[in-house]
Amino acid sequence: MNEMTNKWIGRRTIRPDGAEKVTGRAAFAADTTMPGMIWGKLLRSPHPHAHIRAINTAKAEALTGVKAVVTARDIVDFPVDKSVMLGIQDMRWMCRNVMAREKALFHGHPIAAVAATTAEIAAEACKLIEVDYEVLPWAIEIDDALKPDAPILHDFIRFEGKPSNIAGKLEHKLGDIAEGFAKADVIVERTFTTRPVHQGYIEPQACLVSVTADGKATIWSSSQGHFMVRAMTSMLTGLPQSSIRAIPAEIGGGFGGKTIIYLEPVATMLAKKSGRPVKMVMTREEVMRATGPTSASKSTVKIGATKDGRIVAAQGAFYLQAGALPGSPIRGSAGCAFAPYNIPNVLSQGFDVVCNRSKVTAYRAPGAPIGAYPVECVLDEIAEKLGIDPLDLRLKNIAKEGTKAAHGPVYPRIGFAETVAAARAHPHYQAPLGPHQGRGVASGFWFNAGGESSAQVNITEDGNVVVTTGHPDIGGSRASIANITAELLGIDYRRVSVLIGDTASIGFSNLTGGSRALFASSMVVTQSIEKVIATLRERAAQIWQIDPEAVTWAEGAAHPAGKNAGNFPPLTLAEIAAKASATGGPIGAGVQLNTTGAEGGFATHICDVEVDLELGIVRVVRFTAFQDAGRAIHPSYVEGQMQGGVAQGIGWALNEEYIYNAKGQVDNPSFLDYRMPVCSDLPMIDTVIVEVPNPKHPQGVRGVGEASIVPPLAAISNAVHNALGKRFYALPISPPKVLAALKTTA
C-alpha cells in the first residue's frame, strides 16, 4: 500500500469541507437554532474557593421569562469514594466540574443555570440567585498548594497518609538509577517551570439541546467526539444513551480542549425542565476562566552521561497542576519525557496537584511538552559540557526498534532516528546566523492512539461512494479518507463523499484525540472497502456467470481474470451499481473495530531566534520541523498539523500565560491579553515529512497531530541560550524576563 505508484494517497486533493469553510457557510455549534428556542446562562462562582452552604433560586424562578433553573441537584451525583471512568475522565470529577456540588473550587465554577426567553433575562435571573458561601483560603500556584499549611481542596484526598493537594502519583522505572549515575562522567540536574496555557480554539463552546416530552434528547454541539458527548450527558443526566442523539457541528478548533463537556448536560436538564429547546454559548471570558487549559508545571530533571556521550541514567519528577479536580496529564509528562532515548536506568515520576483554578483538559499531546521541555534542555547542557553536537548526542542515544522504553513498550520499527538524521543533513542546520541570533534543537515523542472506530461505505445507485465515519474532522481527516477510498476503489476522489455520522447513524467511534482519527478510521474504512470490493466482484461474476474468484478489481472496474481473462469487457463501478438491485440489492459494508497498533510518533525541530537586546523580545526567525508520519495520506494536512503544533509551542515558550490577580481571578481572560501568537509573530514554518511506514497499519499511518507540539519549548529555549549565552529555566521567556536577565549580566 505504500508504494509510490499510489494515485490518490499522498496527493494534495481539495478538502471536502473546504468550500463551505472559506465561504463562511459551514455550520458551527452556535449557528444552530430551533423554533421555540430559549437561552441558558450559567451563574459562576465569584470566589476561588468556598463552601456552598445554600442556594436559593426562588427569585430567579419568579422573574418573568425564566423557564427553568438548574443546580447540582439536577445533575447525577457520583460519590467521591467510588471512581467511575469514562475514557480518561473520572465522572466523580466531571459531575463536580459541570456544576459545583459541595464547594466552589475556582473563580468561574458553575453554581447554577437559568434558561429564559432571552439571554439578557437569563443573565438577569442569574444575579437573582442567592448563594450562601463560606469563603475559604485558596491556593493557585503549585508551590502554594504544596506548602505544609496549604488550604486543602478536597479533604478526601490523602497523600502518604496525610490530607494533601497531591491527588495522584505515577512512576515509570527502568534499571537502577543509582547504579547508572555512578557510571556518569557528567551529571546535570535542573528545575524548570512552565505556566498553564490554553488550547486557544477560536470557537467557544456552544450547544443547542432539545428534549421531547417522552424524554428523547437531541444535542447539537461541537466537540472532539459526539459519542463522548452522548456518554457523558447520559451519565450526568440519567438519560439512557439510546435516548440521546448527539449531532456534531463543524468544529472551530479543539486541540484537546473539546474532549470533555461543560454545557451539554446543563442544557439538557434545562431543556427537560422547561420543555423548550435550550441554547447555551460561552463567551470568550467564560472559556478563559472556566474551561481547561493544560497544567502549569514544576519539574526537576537529572541526566548522567559518560564522556563519550552515552546517557547512563535519567531521573525526572514532574509536578503538574490539575486545577480544581484531579486528573492532570502526568502520564504524558512522565511517560514521554525520556521515551525518545535508549537509557538503561530511568526513574520518571509524575505528581498530580490540585489547586483553585479551572480543571485542566487535554491539550495537544497532553503532558508531553511539559515532560520533554526539561529533558531536552538538560540534554543541550550535557551536549555543551561534552562538546558534542546536540543532534549527534541524540543519535548516540536514540531509541529504535527493540529499545525498551521506561513507560513500558519495546519499540517496533519507528522513525525517530530518521527525523534526527534529516535534521542533521538539512541546510537549515548549517545556515549562518546573524547578530543576536541563536539556534536550538529538540526532539519529542507522543504515544499516538487507536481505539474504537466505525465506518460505513455505501455505493450510491449512480455508482459513486458515500463514506461515513464517527470521529469529528478537526485536521483534515475527511480529505484523507477520500484519498484512501479513491485509491482502494480506483476511482477519482471527487466521486467520494465523506461524512461524519451522528450518534444515531454510525457506530461508536472514540474521540478525535490522541492523534487517532485517521489511524483508526482508515483501518475500518479500508476493511469496509475490502468488503465492498468483494461484493462488487461477486456481482460482476454473477453478471458474467463466472466464479467470483476469477474476477479482479482494478482501476475502478471488475475485470475477468484467470482463464476468463479478456472474455468480457470490464464492468465499471457505475455499471455494477446500476444493476445492484437486480443482482442482490444495495451495495455497501460497515466495519467496527477496537483498533490497535498505533505506534509512537517522533519529531525533531530546529529553531532560530533573534533577540532584541534592548527590549528583551525573542522572535523566532526560522523553524524547520521534521516528523515521522508513517505515511502522509494527505501531505497538506500533515504539514498543517506540524505547523500548528509548532505555532502553539512558540506561544507557550514565549508569551502565553494565565495571570491571576490578588483575588484569585484570571486577570487576562481575553485574546487581547492572553498573548497567543498572531500570524505576523511567526516565520513560515518549514516542514520535512519523514515516512517510515507503520507496519501495523494498512496504509502505514502514524498519528501526526501531537508530536509536533512536543519539541518547540526546548528548541526555543536552547536557541535563546545559543543567542545570549544564558539559560532560562522558566517559561514563558517573555520580554521582561529576558531584559532582566540581560541586565544582570551587564
Partner 1 sequence: MSDMRYVVPRTLDEAVGAFAEAKGAARILAGGTDLLVQMRAGAVRPGLVIDIKKIAELTGIEETADGGFRIGGAVAGARLAEHPRFGKVWPGLLEAINLIGSTQVQGRASAGGNLCNGSPAADSVPAMVAAGAVATLQGPKGRREMPVEDVPAGPGRTNLQPGEILVGFILPPRPLGSGDAYLRMIPRTEMDIAVVGCGVNLTLKDGVCTAARVGLGAVAPTVLRVDAAAKALIGSRLDAAALDAAAAACRAACHPIDDKRGTIAYRTEVAGVLLKRAAGIAADRAKGA
Contacting positions for partner 1 (CB under 8 A): 120-121, 124, 285, 614-617, 654-655, 659, 667-668, 672-673, 675, 677-681, 734-736, 739-740, 743
**C-beta of 647: minimal distance to partner 1 in Å?**
13
Least distance to partner 1, CB of residue 281, Å: 13
Ordered alpha helix ranges (H), 361-415: 368-386, 390-396
Instruction: Check residue 290 and give left, alpha or beta (phi > 0: left; psi -120 to 50: alpha).
Output: alpha
Q: How many CA atoms lie within 13 A of 360 on its CB side?
A: 28
Task: Please check whether residue 402 is in contact with residue 410, taking contact to mean a CB–CB distance below 8 angstroms.
Answer: yes
CB of 83 to partner 1, least distance (A): 38
* Closest CB to partner 1 among residues 510, 655: 655
Residue among 50 and 121 whose Cβ is closer to partner 1: 121
Q: Which is nearer to partner 1, 241 or 668 (CB)?
A: 668
Q: How far apart are CA 306 and CA 549, in angstroms?
A: 62
Name the one residue in this structure whose C-alpha cell is 484467470.
Answer: 562
DSSP string across 155-178: TT-EETTEE-SEEEEEEEEES-HH
CA 570 to chain centre: 46
Of 460 and 668, which CB lies nearer to partner 1 in the complex structure? 668
- 524: enclosing H helix or E strand: helix 517-544
Nearer to partner 1 (CB atom), residue 124 or residue 384: 124
Least distance (Å) between residue 670 CB and partner 1: 9
Contact 687, 643 (CB under 8 A): yes
Q: How far is the CB of 329 from partner 1 (least distance, A)?
A: 26
User: What residue spans of 261-350 are helical by DSSP H?
Assistant: 264-274, 284-290, 330-336
* Closer of 76 and 739 to partner 1 (Cβ): 739
Chain centroid, CA 303 distance in Å:
29
Nearer to partner 1, 384 or 681 (CB): 681
Please state, in angstroms and rounded to a whole number, the distance separating the CA atoms of residues 431 and 512. Answer: 38
Q: Work out how close the CB of 237 gets to partner 1 at its nearest, in angstroms, rounded to a whole number.
A: 30
Q: Which residues does 148 contact at the CB level (< 8 Å), separation at least 6?
A: none
Q: In the complex, what is the shortest distance from the CB of residue 205 to partner 1, in angstroms, rounded to a whole number?
A: 18
Query: In the complex, what is the shortest distance from the CB of residue 675 to partner 1, in angstroms, rounded to a whole number?
Result: 5
How far apart CA 330 and CA 371 sit, in angstroms, is: 9
Q: Which residue's CB is nearer to partner 1, number 116 or number 312? A: 116
Work out whether the CA dihedral 455, 456, 459, 465 comes out positive or negative.
Answer: negative
Query: What residue type is assigned to position 230 of the chain?
Result: R
Q: How many separate helices (H) and strands (E) can be counted in the chain?
A: 20, 30
Write the CB contacts of 423 (distance below 8 Å, at least 6 apart in sequence): 391, 429, 441, 604, 605, 606, 624, 626, 688
Q: State the nearest-atom distance from the C-beta of 639 to partner 1, in Å.
A: 23
